[in-house]
Amino acid sequence: MNNNQLSKLIEKKRADLIEIVKNEGLNSTLAIKYSQELDGLLIKYIQLDMKKKTAIG
């Protein structure tokens, strides 16, 4: 998976999370689950970006 694909997944997960928070509240089980999934995607994105930067220079 490249950064562009991961970026699209992050944006989709973020949009889903916003809707869940609007409908169920910030502390709902589903909002927490999606927030954790978003955190995981963001970590993967940062890791890929770091690998790319260290490979370049």
Say yes or no to pLDDT of 57 above 70.
no
Q: What pTM does this model have?
A: 0.88
Q: What is the pLDDT of residues 5-55, one digit of tens each?
A: 999 999 999 999 999 999 999 999 999 999 999 999 999 999 998 988 888
The rounded Cα 38 to chain-centroid distance in angstroms is 3
What's the pLDDT score for residue 38?
98
Contacts of 28 (CB under 8 A, 6+ apart): 20, 21
Share of the chain above pLDDT 90, in %: 79
Which CATH number belongs to the domain containing residue 37 in this structure? 4.10.280.10
Number of domains in the chain: 1
Domain span at residue 52?
3-56
